[in-house]
Amino acid sequence: MWVVIYYIFSYLVFFYTLVAMVFLVYLAVRSNTAQKRLLVNVPDDDTIRYTLKSSPITPTVSIIAPAFNEEKTILDNVYSLLGIYYPNYDIIIVNDGSKDKTLELLIKEFKLESIPFINQKRVPSKPIKAVYKSTEERFSQITVVDKESGGHKADSVNAGLNVCYSKYFVSTDVDCIIEPMALYRMIWTVINSHEPMVGVGATMLMLNGCIVEDGRVVEAKVSNNPLPVFQQLEYMRSFLIGKMGWSSINTLPNISGGFGLFDTEVVVKSGGYDSTSLAEDLDLLMRIVTYMENTGKDYRLAQLPQVCCWTEGPYNLRLLWRQRTRWSRGLCEVVSSHRKLFFNYKYKRMGLLTLPYIFIFEFLAPLIEASGFLFMIWLVLVGAVNWNTAFVIFGMIYVFAISLTFLVLVYDYLIKAVNWKSSWRSYLKLIIAGITEPFLFHPFITFCSLAGYFNYFRNRGKEWKTIKRKGAKKRNDRSGKDNINDIPLEGNMP
């Protein structure tokens, strides 16, 4: 009996791993093809800016940025958003019931006054208490929405959608740093698409270790803290291989909540964000695809390889644990709430390919890895391990993982996704991270995933918590001794 179980489990794990590797190779090839096509067909930033700045068809864009208890950084963050290069955009700051002076500072600095408004309630959100606009022309782009606390970022974005009148909107975090050319790049993709573009994502990397001046990343560096380095590499693989590959066949699984552009009308008709979800970005894309397929409309989802946004990642294990258990719990919610899409031909590639892949190779992966580890311990205890075969299989998997790391670094270098300061140092740190990741970072992430699943089935870990976060290094403070601010470190799925 045990011999039969041994062989069945061994072959299942072997074929599972083999198929996962084949999928990753396929995505890497598709990503390379997509990047080459973009390098040929997409002009440089100066040409894009010159063309769209004077074009009458350049659409309006609203940047919706929730804020909660961010009095120490809110003014710098808003001024940073005001410095984006784009002719037709406005900024909607949603104050989600802050208990500090966030709203007071905004009112004083930008000369805001309450204005009459009609709450259309196009998507569900907590009640809006007031809407503010500036009395000064130079701040006319800014709208501040003061609402009751919803406890979730998704509820704040929904409130912003209820006062948004732009053709497209960008969902971001108020503390993220957006590259000046980001909107130009994304809108260029929108207006040059043959199908209606309903969502565009772009590469988002770790702000940790970078030097910031006047709300801009002036020196892109990889952190000296090993934890953000592992995350940096993880993000690069996710965006430059995974999402670029999925985007090439129009099956993008999600657009990061930290920075993504969407068609406002489509999102509203899809029901907006699920204000109770812990994986609101993944959930939203499922809602959009469901709506478009149910109505029989053509659509396109795209991913850009260039870095358009920077976000700070967890800098210690406690914060990383909190973030990743939340992500995995959110994944459980999405798998459960959108189960009707699985293997449903009506939803085409999303239902027949992308969602099954997410379930089999992302949702089940931590469970299979944990069971395999326990199975290996049992084999060692009973003396049934074929060590020669075990080392060969482990070596093959390890070499594959290292090869994937080198491949994504080559992609980053060739397409100039980001211009690293002291690039050889940055790449060396990322290479070392790739070599050690299977032994240090990955086991911890797997354990976080299992804990998140456990929280889901026990109905725990639903709430969002406010935790401490380090600020970015300033050019005039290279010591790295930045202030620590009590702001939400929500994090977003890469």
The DSSP line for 147-197 is E---SSHHHHHHHHHTT--SSEEEEE-TTSEE-TTHHHHHHHHHHT-SS-E
Report residues of the chain scoring pLDDT below 50: 467, 477-491
Residues 130-153: pLDDT tens digits? 999 999 999 999 999 999 988 788
Return the pLDDT at 384.
79
Return the pLDDT at 76.
84
pTM of the entire predicted model = 0.90
Return the pLDDT at 149.
86
Which residue intervals of 42-181 are DSSP H helices? 45-53, 74-82, 102-109, 153-161
Return the pLDDT at 470.
61
Fill in the DSSP letter of residue 312: P
For residues 198 and 190, give the distance between their C-alpha atoms in angstroms, rounded to a whole number: 8
Return the pLDDT at 485.
36
For residues 279 and 328, give the distance between their C-alpha atoms in angstroms, rounded to a whole number: 8
Return the pLDDT at 471.
57
Return the pLDDT at 215.
82
For residue 63, what is the enclosing H or E element?
Answer: strand 61-67
Q: How far is CA 99 from CA 63, 67, 103, 104, 146, in A?
A: 23, 11, 9, 11, 12
Residues 76-116: pLDDT tens digits? 889 989 999 999 999 999 999 888 889 999 999 999 999 98
Residue 62 β-bridge partners: 90, 169
Residues written for the chain: 494
